[in-house]
């Protein structure tokens, strides 16, 4: 396969993924000597985007925004844990980074509310899954997932070859139901009735700034550290969600000799359209306008911009 071909991962190789979001004892860096826990919260999700093209690069809109909170944990002599949120003044921005990964979701998922339908899942799913209960009635959930990539096919001589998933037609029915006795082994999240696997990750399809430093802003009357992904586009059409992960390049912990991921969160769904199908852009959100006052480079719009529909050639 050519070097510049897109490849999806074959599964999770993150040995410390089970530690993300849990208390970690830091041995070096700005949090050295402390036990800390970090949280990420998506304050603003992207709603839509236009498929990336070199001559027509349009970032996701509105720009995704993520809030970072860091807590210091202390243990009493009785073994009780207490935590205190560290104010922004006690956190040095230098070295803290947030990165993103891209995962496909079924297209109908973009119509679902992000509240209550995104359910965190342990890395190894339980053999039986059930959907939510409505009016006292609970029915078994029909779960779906995207099978392991890259896909296999045959060339003109009948020989099996690997095909980059970015060469496969977007509407190919590759979504598969989960077999109750053989669930995927690399589930990292449950979104409604769809299981997101590490091997379905499509981060190579992201274009733009995938590593962002925090910006200190006023949010709800308090100083806050936020990551603003204002320059992020997608090279594929379809429905997706983002996974945000934060780390400090100067931090080392007892559990890891490399900078560990301190926290992660999966965002809400958005859709990427072709140029022909793109519906247009809404006016800038209040949060986007507020961020511009702090020097964050964002695009501001006072009015809705409808896309001109193109007829068939």
Predicted local confidence at residue 237, as pLDDT: 92
Predicted local confidence at residue 135, as pLDDT: 40
Homologous superfamily of 24-102+206-293:
Velvet domain (2.60.40.3960)
Q: For 25-34, 141-150, 298-307, which range has the lowest pLDDT when averaged over its residues?
A: 298-307
Is 162 a residue whose pLDDT tops 70? no
Asked if 53 contacts 275 with a C-beta cutoff of 8 angstroms, the reply is: yes
When pLDDT is cut at 50, 70 and 90, the band that residue 27 belongs to is: very high
Q: How distant, in Å, are the alpha carbons of 8, 27, 148, 158 from that of 109?
A: 22, 42, 20, 37
When pLDDT is cut at 50, 70 and 90, the band that residue 310 belongs to is: low
Predicted local confidence at residue 149, as pLDDT: 55
Distance, in Å, from the CA atom of 193 to the CA atom of 139, rounded to the nearest integer, reads: 12
Q: Which residues contact 56 (CB under 8 A, 6 or more apart)?
A: 50, 275
Is 13 a residue whose pLDDT tops 80? no
The residue ranges of every structural domain in the chain are 24-102+206-293
Predicted local confidence at residue 101, as pLDDT: 97
**Tokens at residue 215, please?**
């910006």
Distance, in Å, from the CA atom of 284 to the CA atom of 46, rounded to the nearest integer, reads: 12
What pLDDT digit, counting tens, does each position of 70-104 carry? 999 998 888 888 999 999 999 999 999 999 999 99
Asked if 175 contacts 147 with a C-beta cutoff of 8 angstroms, the reply is: no
Q: Coil, strand, or helix at residue 304? A: coil
Is 253 a residue whose pLDDT tops 70? yes
**Mean pLDDT: which of 4-8, 13-17, 116-120 is highest?**
13-17
């Amino acid at each position: 396969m050519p070097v510049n071909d897109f490849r999806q991962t074959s599964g999770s190789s993150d040995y410390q993924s089970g530690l993300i979001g849990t208390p970690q004892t830091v041995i070096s860096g700005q949090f050295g000597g402390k036990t800390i826990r970090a949280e990420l919260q998506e304050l603003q999700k992207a709603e839509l985007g236009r498929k990336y093209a070199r001559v027509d690069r349009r970032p996701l809109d509105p720009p995704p925004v993520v809030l970072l909170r860091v807590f210091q944990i202390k243990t009493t002599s009785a073994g009780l844990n207490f935590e205190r949120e560290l104010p922004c003044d006690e956190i040095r921005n230098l070295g803290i980074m947030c990165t993103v990964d891209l995962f496909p979701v079924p297209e109908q998922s973009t119509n679902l509310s992000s509240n209550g339908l995104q359910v965190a899942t342990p890395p190894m799913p339980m053999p039986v899954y059930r959907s939510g209960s409505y009016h006292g009635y609970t029915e078994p959930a029909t779960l779906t997932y995207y099978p392991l990539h890259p896909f296999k096919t045959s060339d003109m001589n009948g020989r099996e070859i690997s095909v980059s998933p970015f060469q496969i037609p977007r509407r190919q029915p590759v979504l598969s139901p989960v077999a109750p006795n053989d669930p995927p082994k690399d589930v990292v999240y449950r979104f409604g009735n769809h299981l997101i696997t590490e091997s379905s990750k499509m981060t190579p399809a992201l274009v733009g700034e995938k590593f962002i430093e925090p910006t200190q802003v006023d949010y709800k009357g308090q100083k806050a550290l936020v990551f603003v992904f204002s320059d992020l586009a997608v090279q594929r059409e379809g429905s997706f969600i983002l996974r945000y992960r934060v780390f400090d390049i100067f931090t080392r912990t007892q559990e890891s000799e490399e900078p560990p991921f301190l926290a992660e969160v999966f965002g809400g769904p958005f859709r990427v359209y072709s140029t022909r199908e793109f519906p247009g852009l809404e006016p800038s959100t209040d949060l986007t306008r507020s961020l511009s006052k702090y020097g964050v480079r964002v695009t501001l719009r006072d009015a809705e911009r409808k896309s001109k529909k193109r007829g068939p050639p």
